[in-house]
Amino acid sequence: MSTVPDIATLRAYQPRPDLLNDRVILVTGATGGLGRAAALSFAAHGATVILHGRNRRKLETLNDEILAAGHPAPALALIDLEKAQAPAYFDLRDQLASQYGRLDGLLHNAGLLGGLMPIEHHPVDLWHRVMHVNLTVPFVLTQVLYTQLQASPDASVVFTGSGVGRRGRAFWGAYAASKAGVENLVQTLADEADGQGTLRVNCLNPGRTRTPMRNKAYPAEDPATLPDPDSLMGPYLFLIGPDSRGINGASLDCQ
């Protein structure tokens, strides 16, 4: 395994402008705070980005923004992760295979906070919804797309972690448990991928970031005190791109 960079090195990472040229990368939750920044940044560095979201209008707006900037034309994947059944994922796999014949990167970014409450009062149905979107869907998507990822000469799968996934905290209920599951799933996948080819699987924790989810979790916080998603894109570009080759099974922090 290559050396895992520390936070300061990751934050100082300077990607080449053409870092992701000719790569096809799927970003889930591309219409949200961090996902949107990642999709724009990947496209700006040459990737053809598959924009996933559940809201057609938001997806089309992002698509137009990427085209207007002169970046490679994206594709849209409209899937509500809470409602989707198996055929939606197989359709996505087939669309990628027929349209591009390759998949070089997968950023599991979509996430659901659920709500902050003690376990004693945590609704069971909310628990299921959060675990489904945050943990089961990344498992399913990775499984469905695994063959395509393995076929890439240099594929990277990046899961999105959280501080509460490393150590649980009062009131973070299903969200914290789902993110702990993500860390563990990354370890399992990375171990399975080890020595099997070039596919690597890692986890990235953005840390406190100015997004709608953070605002929901901390409504009294002044957003101006938080880092903007764009300022964290160095670590995302590093992990999804060729410079992280050889790093597998790591759990990294952006801040």
The answer to the question of residue 160 lying near ligand NDP (CB under 6 A) is yes
Residues 33-52 that bind ligand NDP (CB under 6 A): 33-35
Element (H, E) at 49: strand 48-53
The answer to the question of residue 209 lying near ligand NDP (CB under 6 A) is yes
Q: What are 112's two structure tokens? A: 């659901």
Q: Which one of 156, 162, 244, 248 is in contact with ligand NDP (CB under 6 A)? A: 162
- The answer to whether 227 touches 255, Cβ cutoff 8 Å, is yes
- The answer to whether 184 touches 166, Cβ cutoff 8 Å, is no
Widest distance between CA atoms in the chain: 51
The answer to the question of residue 110 lying near ligand NDP (CB under 6 A) is yes
* 75-78 vs 105-108, strand pairing mode: unpaired
* 75-78 vs 48-53, strand pairing mode: parallel
Q: What are 25's two structure tokens? A: 């990368």
Active-site annotation holds for 146: no
Phi, psi for 183 (deg, rounded to 5): -60, -45
Supply the minimum distance, in Å, between the C-beta of residue 165 and ligand NDP.
8
The answer to the question of residue 31 lying near ligand NDP (CB under 6 A) is yes
Alpha-carbon gap, residue 167 to 158, rounded angstroms? 20
Alpha-carbon gap, residue 135 to 145, rounded angstroms? 16
For tokens 């410079």, the residue is 243
One-letter amino acid of 237: L
Supply the minimum distance, in Å, between the C-beta of residue 200 and ligand NDP.
19
Q: Given 89, 146, 175, 236, which residue is catalytic?
A: 175
Residues 175-204 that bind ligand NDP (CB under 6 A): none
Q: Which one of 4, 11, 46, 58 is in contact with ligand NDP (CB under 6 A)? A: 58
Nearer to ligand NDP, 21 or 90 (CB): 90
The answer to the question of residue 223 lying near ligand NDP (CB under 6 A) is no
Give how many residues touch ligand NDP by CB under 6 A. 29
The answer to the question of residue 9 lying near ligand NDP (CB under 6 A) is no
Q: Which residues are catalytic?
A: 175
Per CB under 6 A, residues contacting ligand NDP are 29, 31-35, 53-55, 58, 80-82, 109-112, 133, 160, 162, 205-209, 211-214
